[in-house]
């Protein structure tokens, strides 16, 4: 496993829920020995935030706030030079003894295939080995699955470990032959950060969001904490923190 992946995952674990709030609660318990009232208040705040982070109410609202682009118009898409697909993880299949696409990568691939079929635009797949121990790159696995389904990408970018590197390496492939306008396929909550990175790399981006959300419905179930609520909260906060990271350190 690469040191890059380990450091990145450690930082994400420490600053995203539930760990950040659990650490806050631990600190509050220690603080109560010297400052009982402050420690009690801090513990209560961290407990409340931990609860909220697990609710669909908060998780879906945060994800929905990142949904800033409508479905792509096919007439507009046909004016592009290429379709760029960002991978979203692979998993090892013990039965087949090979790497397969994760669920989010599957959804992006299927949408890209549909756009390719309706526009005729060439495909570029971008995704490397972010964890460092995979036998194949994420883009390589997606290309294999696409070929099994009767489609093939024209370009396969296999070095990128994150969104910024995908933008940089994709631009290095497309800009020299004069291909500047792209349809960018990724999940709707990932679109804002991706568009910013790809445009900074010199590409003209037409966003093609995957899994567009309906406006979150508020009912009793929205207040009940569950794993999906936490997953949505963490995914949204990951995007917001990623935007801040690029803004501060790029």
Query: What is the chain's pLDDT, residue by residue, as a tens digit (250 residues)?
Result: 567 778 888 988 999 999 999 999 999 999 999 999 999 999 999 999 999 999 999 999 999 999 999 999 999 999 999 999 999 999 999 998 899 999 999 999 999 999 999 999 999 999 999 877 677 999 999 999 999 999 999 999 999 999 999 999 999 999 999 999 999 999 999 999 999 999 999 999 999 999 999 999 999 999 999 999 999 999 999 999 999 988 887 6
Strand pairing partners for 125? 85, 156
Q: How far is CA 99 from the centre of its chain?
A: 20
The angle that helices 19-31 and 3-15 make with each other, rounded to 10 degrees, is 60
- Rounded to whole angstroms, the Cα distance separating 16 from 24 reads 12
Q: Helix/strand/coil (H, E, C) string of the chain?
A: CCHHHHHHHHHHHHHCCCHHHHHHHHHHHHHCCCCHHHHHHHHHHHHHHHHHHCCHHHHHHHHHHCCCCCCCCHHHHCCCCEEEEECCCEEEECCCCEEEECHHHHHHHHHHHHHHHHHCCCEEEECCCCCCCCCCCHHHHHHHHHHHCCCCCCEEECCCCCHHHHHHHHHHHHCCCCCCEEEEEEECCCHHHHHHHHHHCCCEEEEEEECCCCCCCCCHHHHCCCHHHHHHHHHHHHHHHHHHHHHHHC
Domain borders along the chain are: 3-66+224-249, 74-210
Which pLDDT does position 250 carry in this prediction? Answer: 66
The verdict on domain 74-210 having CATH code 3.40.50.150 is: no
Which pLDDT does position 7 carry in this prediction? Answer: 83
Which pLDDT does position 134 carry in this prediction? Answer: 73
Which pLDDT does position 61 carry in this prediction? Answer: 98
Which pLDDT does position 102 carry in this prediction? Answer: 95
Q: Given the structure tokens 């179930």, which residue do they identify? A: 221
Contact 89, 102 (CB under 8 A): yes
């Amino acid at each position: 496993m690469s040191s890059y992946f380990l450091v990145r995952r450690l930082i994400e674990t420490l600053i995203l829920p539930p760990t950040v709030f659990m650490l806050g609660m631990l600190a509050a318990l220690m603080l109560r020995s010297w400052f009982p009232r402050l420690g009690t208040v801090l513990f209560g705040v961290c407990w409340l935030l931990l609860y909220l982070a697990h609710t669909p109410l908060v998780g879906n609202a945060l994800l929905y706030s990142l949904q800033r682009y409508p479905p792509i118009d096919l007439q507009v898409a046909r004016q592009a030079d290429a379709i760029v697909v960002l991978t979203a993880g692979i998993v090892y299949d013990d039965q087949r003894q090979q790497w397969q696409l994760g669920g989010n990568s599957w959804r992006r691939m299927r949408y890209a295939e549909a756009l390719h079929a309706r526009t005729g635009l060439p495909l570029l797949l971008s995704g490397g080995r972010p964890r460092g121990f995979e036998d194949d790159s994420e883009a390589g696995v997606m290309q294999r699955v696409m070929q099994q389904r009767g489609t093939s990408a024209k370009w396969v970018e296999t070095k990128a470990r994150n969104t910024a590197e995908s933008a940089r390496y994709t631009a290095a492939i497309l800009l020299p032959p004069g291909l500047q306008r792209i349809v960018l396929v990724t999940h709707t909550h990932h679109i804002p950060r991706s568009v910013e990175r790809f445009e900074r790399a010199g590409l003209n981006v037409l966003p093609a969001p995957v899994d567009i959300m309906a406006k979150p419905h508020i009912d009793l179930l929205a207040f009940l904490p569950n794993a999906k609520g936490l997953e949505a909260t963490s995914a949204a906060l990951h995007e917001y923190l990623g935007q801040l990271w690029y803004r501060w350190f790029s």
